[in-house]
Structure 1
Amino acid sequence: MLNLFVVCLFVVLGNCFAAIDIAQYVPVCDRNSPDVNDCLIDAVKKGIVAMKSGIKDLGVPAIDPYHQKELKMEYTNNQISGKVLVSDTYVEGVTESTVKDVRLRAEDDSFHMEIDMFSPQIFCKGRFSGSGSYNVLRVNASGDFNTTMSDLTYTWKLDGTPEQIDGETYVRITSFYMRPDVGNMVTHMTNENPDSKELTDLAIRITNENWRLLYREMLPFAQSNWNKIGTRIANKIFLKVPYNQLFPVKS
């Protein structure tokens, strides 16, 4: 899910590229217009299309599939604990998402934007190595994995504060929030360690049978990382392009 976040954030920021080249990418939306939310829905839709294969001139990677080289995770809570290194992860399906609604509140002293999305399916695959435990079970494993998530409903929430930098106003994003509701999730894994293959098979069966519980357990960890990664990536753009170019006042 952390990989999915990075993909989603680039889509959220699709409207930002309009300040660089409005004709080539997406429309710029007047933040004081009564139709600004409808304009932003269209902007996000076009941003998804523009970024599917990446935008080399702007340094934007392909978002479908999106590739993440490495991710380290450590988790301990109740009966479950583990350390995992995930590498060469590919996330597919974001360009099939539907933009349901956008709400913008862009003031002189504050910035807030919400985007409601629905994704029929998100597919992740990659490599993993690590160790974990569930009750008395202990597993050391490495191999390939894939996860299919279906019927995802979620809202991206970005909050920021305008600030003056070298005489120009920019927005510093201070937080990013997302809590996806997932209709179903199925995970498959291989294990190249023959000593723990049977335990891995059991762990995967338990995971798929109890994925909702495990998802809720992991969510606070994921949200903390989404916030850190999201604010960092967002500020690379929001602190580079002036506020009145990202969301101008025309009316």
Structure 2
Amino acid sequence: MKLLLLLVIWVNTCTSLTLPSTFTKCDKRKPDFNECLSKAVQNAISQLSKPMEKYNLPSFEPFKFASLTPKSGQQIWSSSITFKNYRIYGRTKINSSKVNMNFEDNTLRVELSNPELRYEFDYQAKGKMLILPLDAAGLVTVISKNPTYTIKFTLEEYLKNNKKYLRVSSTNMMIKAESIAINYENLFEDKVLNDAFNRELSKNWKLIHANFDAIYMESYAKVYGDVFNNFLQVVPLMDLFAGIQ
């Protein structure tokens, strides 16, 4: 199965494809290009309730990835805790979008707002919190109300089979939210203590969010950069936009 998947990816990366027929192709020459692109990106993401394997695009409902890598030497907890198997629900439901493509410096800035995102991931904790021993595993659920993702992709052109393509050279991301609720299942055996701990986390969500940004945002941004890059590998520049030589 793994070999078959690798073969599919290899074939796709060697095959030139046109933009999916259900995606909107915007004309670079027109003054409303970025307005068109904003609607096109929102429309494309809304279609990803199922994967588009031909285009190396995963499902965004839920959007799944295995893990995030913390910045070297940094961690949120003093005890040993690991997170894995991330699932994000609500990505295809978008309130508003604002997209700007700058062909002078090859940057794409995408701003997307969702009414709600639900993050689920698995944790494993072992160590101590103050004097309390920790040896637990379970599910973490994070509910983010009205989050806005701002992602900047820095792109570069290259030639493949005599056609121009784009690839992502770096990705930067910021996230803002109206509120965030956090819930760890089974972190403490005592339910009253566990519930109180979750209430405190949710109460101090801005501090938790800031710590996440400092430690994991770079790795999280790369996840989206990799997804976009996989798509760009199979669609030439002239098929992404109209008015490209």
Q: TM-score, normalised by structure 2?
A: 0.78
Q: Give the number of the structure whose residues are more often strand, by fraction.
A: 1
Does residue 211 of the first structure (1) align with residue 212 of the second (2)?
A: no
Please tell me the residue identity of whatever aligns with 1:205: R
Tell whether the 8 Å contact from 2:117 to 2:144 is kept in structure 1 after alignment.
yes
Tell whether the 8 Å contact from 1:141 to 1:200 is kept in structure 2 after alignment.
no
Tell whether the 8 Å contact from 1:74 to 1:82 is kept in structure 2 after alignment.
no
Report how many aligned residue pairs link the two structures. 228
1:27 paired residue among 21, 24, 42: 24
Please report how far the alpha carbon of residue 39 of structure 1 lies from its aligned counterpart in structure 2 after TM superposition.
1.1
Structure 1 residue ranges (4+ consecutive) displaced by more than 4 angstroms after TM superposition: 72-79, 132-138, 196-202
Deviates more, 1:231-240 or 1:131-140: 131-140
Tell whether the 8 Å contact from 2:57 to 2:231 is kept in structure 1 after alignment.
no
Going from structure 1 to structure 2, the CA distance change for 1:162 and 1:82 (only over 3 Å counts) comes to: farther
Secondary structure of the residue aligned to 1:232 is helix
Q: Matches of 1:78 and 1:190 in 2, distance apart? A: 20
Q: Matches of 2:240 and 2:186 in 1, distance apart? A: 47
Please report how far the alpha carbon of residue 78 of structure 1 lies from its aligned counterpart in structure 2 after TM superposition.
8.8
* Deviation by residue 1:174-226 (Cα, 9 ceiling, x = unmatched): 111111111111112221774x7676555433312212112112202222103
Tell whether the 8 Å contact from 2:99 to 2:110 is kept in structure 1 after alignment.
yes
Tell whether the 8 Å contact from 1:80 to 1:133 is kept in structure 2 after alignment.
no
* Deviation by residue 1:213-240 (Cα, 9 ceiling, x = unmatched): 1211220222210343333333223233
Q: Matches of 1:78 and 1:143 in 2, distance apart? A: 19
Does residue 58 of the first structure (1) align with residue 55 of the second (2)?
A: yes
Please report how far the alpha carbon of residue 125 of structure 1 lies from its aligned counterpart in structure 2 after TM superposition.
2.3
Percent identity of paired positions between Structure 1 and Structure 2:
19
Please tell me the residue identity of whatever aligns with 2:148: T
